[in-house]
Amino acid sequence: MDETRILGAVLAGGRATRFGSDKALARMADGRTLIDHAVAGLAPHVAAVVICGREGGLPDRPASDMGPLGGLNAALHHALDYGFAGVLTTGCDMPFYPAALPAALIGESAAILKGQQLLGWWPATLASELDAHLAEENNRSIYGWIDRANARVVEIPGLVLPNINRPEDLAGL
């Protein structure tokens, strides 16, 4: 495993029920989709980017419709298989990826950005632990996994990121 190789993963398998349509394909004012912006924001910080939970990307693991943890699990196993040290994650509805974020997140242990649970760092060695977590009876909440992984919560003072859950949230950007 190369400790300097980082995999980027855009978690894109959600149902977007509050948005009312496929949020990943919603267009911003510049005509590009949210998922295109998410990939472009993450790409400068990683050796490769994968999209998880969508057709044409990595399928959720161990099964479809597992929410963000299914996508994260697929990305962690992909990282292990291809020699990446870990995975930086973002959601498909996160059109901006702060340049200071990787340095704040990446370390020996898992970490998330305060208030943005999908913006995280996950060492590839957590793959088997996430397998075990998903095999147990639990609600598969990202919060339960964050607790189990003992993820550090990172705060970057003054950083405010959009939360896009409804079409009007996108229109307000």
- DSSP state letter for 67: T
Neighbour tally for 100: CB within 10 Å: 9
What does the alpha-carbon distance between residue 49 and residue 36 come to, in Å, rounded to a whole number? 11
What does the alpha-carbon distance between residue 3 and residue 18 come to, in Å, rounded to a whole number? 39
Map out the domains of the chain as residue ranges: 2-171
Residues with Cβ within 8 Å of residue 48, at least 6 apart in sequence: 7, 8, 82, 84
What does the alpha-carbon distance between residue 162 and residue 138 come to, in Å, rounded to a whole number? 29
Comparing CA positions, the residue from 50, 44, 21 lying closest to residue 33 is: 21
Neighbour tally for 103: CB within 10 Å: 10
What does the alpha-carbon distance between residue 78 and residue 60 come to, in Å, rounded to a whole number? 11
Q: How many residues does the chain have?
A: 173
pLDDT tens digits in sequence order for the chain, 173 residues long: 556 899 999 999 766 667 667 788 888 889 899 999 999 999 999 999 999 998 889 999 999 888 899 999 999 999 999 999 999 999 998 998 999 999 999 999 999 999 999 999 999 999 999 999 999 987 778 999 999 999 999 999 998 888 787 778 777 77
| CATH assignment, 2-171 | 3.90.550.10
